[in-house]
Homo-oligomer: A and B are copies of this chain.
Amino acid sequence: MVGGQIPEEVFTEIVKNKYSRVGYVNCFNCLEGRSSFVTKPPIKTFLDELAGFFGGDRAEHTFGNRSAQFAVFNMIAKETKRKGLVLVDSLCHYTSTVNIENVGLKLEEVPHSGYPNYEITAENYRKTLDELEKNKKKPALVLLTHVDPYYGNLVNPKEISDVVKEYDIPFMLNAAYTGGIIPINMKKWGVDFLCLSAHKSMSSMAPLGYLVTNYEYADKVFQTSLQTPGWTKRAFGKKIPNLFGCSIGGLPLISSMLSFDSVKKRVTEWKDKLKEIQWFINKFEDIGEGTMLLGQNPHKHHLMHFDTPLFYELSKKHKRKGFFLAKALEKKGFIGIHKGMTKHIKFSVYDLNKKEKKELLDAFEGIVKA
């Protein structure tokens, strides 16, 4: 959860602002009927800058990554009269499968390579697309989860998009775990839709996300309302149905705007951060018998998932059972481990400095030796 941590100075700024007590403060200066048009604070130019930073042409803020995905899936659902098919990687986040179900589309999964590396490859995308073609099924959209939520595996979007483009299908990248952490360039990578989580990886309050797209798809996914109800003939021509009219924003959006400079900066430091993460993984694998990183090794992301049979053995003897580990770490000042898990544990050391990483290793070693 550390990728979403709000810089202290941003929090201070929000708290001292006299309007912060109104939860949708950015609506004060809404003259054009949609929060993304607001110029005071400069939401409009911020969204343009954000789109450019990720190599896209247009961005809208959303109620989180799940709402960004929803907008794209719903557009596809309308275009295909709710009969379309979406091809997803088999490590995609639940918000992808559940949103696809929700808009009435079908889905197919690209297999991964299984235990212990769980690799998603361009080859498997091609195989699955070929099989679908044989059965006369053509996906209306292909999704790749840039880094998956289970093992923290990173897939090169360019390799997948090169395949997808051969089949002439729009390509969507779920960057919930990477946008704001790792450099991203939609144009270079052939990405048509980029879904971001501001509260997961862009140092923002929840709930907030962004959908970034290119000129080709902007008017489709951000299509404004076309309806004029029969009796009043009211029209809401600035509102975007796929975004529920307007995504409001509120303090989460303001926090994201205030955090953006620090987010841009930390993305440039990614290589150094990754080296420290790999150093941590090597040390952690030595803490005891059977400890092993799952997923890609060398690892390419800060989300780590380890097999830890030794903690499972310890939990059997403990009165708190599986909850002992999270509790023991909490006592040593570390939070974030999924409570109750011991056989395998998933966590991140992103944003911990070297000294803190060492302290965390010591904490784990202390638990093993206790």
- Interface residues, chain A, with chain B CB atoms under 8 Å away: 1, 4-6, 8, 11, 15, 19-24, 27-29, 31, 63-64, 66-67, 70, 74, 78, 82, 88, 90, 94-95, 97-102, 104, 107-111, 198-200, 204-208, 225-227, 229-232, 234, 236, 239, 241-242, 244-245, 247-252, 255, 335-336, 339-340
Task: Count identical subunits in the complex.
Answer: 2
Q: Which of A24, A90, A242 has the most CB of B within 10 A?
A: A24
Instruction: Show 12 residue pairs from A and B whose CB-CB distance is below 8 angstroms, ordered by the A residue.
Output: A1-B24, A6-B23, A23-B198, A23-B252, A29-B339, A67-B244, A97-B234, A97-B236, A99-B244, A108-B229, A111-B231, A206-B250
Name A21's closest neighbour in chain B (CB-CB). B6
Name A1's closest neighbour in chain B (CB-CB). B22
- CB of A321, distance to nearest CB on chain B (Å): 13
Name A102's closest neighbour in chain B (CB-CB). B241
Evaluate contact between A28 and B335: CB separation under 8 angstroms.
Answer: yes
- CB of A213, distance to nearest CB on chain B (Å): 18
- List residues of chain B with CB within 8 A of the CB of A110: 231
- CB of A266, distance to nearest CB on chain B (Å): 16
Evaluate contact between B101 and A226: CB separation under 8 angstroms.
Answer: yes
- List residues of chain B with CB within 8 A of the CB of A22: 1, 4-6
Lowest 8 CB-CB distances: which A-B pairs, in order? A206-B250, A102-B241, A24-B206, A23-B205, A63-B63, A109-B231, A23-B199, A23-B206
Q: How far is the CA of A247 from the CA of B78 in the complex (A)?
A: 24
Name A203's closest neighbour in chain B (CB-CB). B23
Q: How far is the CA of A5 from the CA of B100 in the complex (A)?
A: 36
Q: How far is the CA of A31 from the CA of B337 in the complex (A)?
A: 11
Evaluate contact between B66 and A244: CB separation under 8 angstroms.
Answer: yes
Name A335's closest neighbour in chain B (CB-CB). B28
- List residues of chain B with CB within 8 A of the CB of A230: 108-109
Q: How far is the CA of A63 from the CA of B67 in the complex (A)?
A: 10
- List residues of chain B with CB within 8 A of the CB of A99: 241, 244-245
Option from B29, B200, B232, B250 in Cβ contact (under 8 Å) with A205: B250
- List residues of chain B with CB within 8 A of the CB of A101: 225-227, 241
Evaluate contact between B232 and A109: CB separation under 8 angstroms.
Answer: yes
Known contacts A206-B23, A207-B250, A244-B102; is A97 also within 8 Å of B229 by CB? yes
Known contacts A98-B236, A102-B74, A250-B199; is A231 also within 8 Å of B4 by CB? no
Name A224's closest neighbour in chain B (CB-CB). B98
- CB of A265, distance to nearest CB on chain B (Å): 18
Option from B8, B11, B29, B109 in Cβ contact (under 8 Å) with A229: B109
With A94-B236, A109-B229 already in contact, 7 other A-B pairs whose C-beta atoms are closer than 8 Å: A4-B23, A4-B24, A23-B204, A23-B252, A82-B104, A199-B250, A206-B248
- CB of A51, distance to nearest CB on chain B (Å): 22
- CB of A95, distance to nearest CB on chain B (Å): 5
Evaluate contact between A205 and B251: CB separation under 8 angstroms.
Answer: yes
Name A64's closest neighbour in chain B (CB-CB). B248
Q: How far is the CA of A29 from the CA of B27 in the complex (A)?
A: 32
Evaluate contact between A227 and B98: CB separation under 8 angstroms.
Answer: yes
- CB of A33, distance to nearest CB on chain B (Å): 8
Evaluate contact between A225 and B98: CB separation under 8 angstroms.
Answer: yes
- CB of A337, distance to nearest CB on chain B (Å): 10
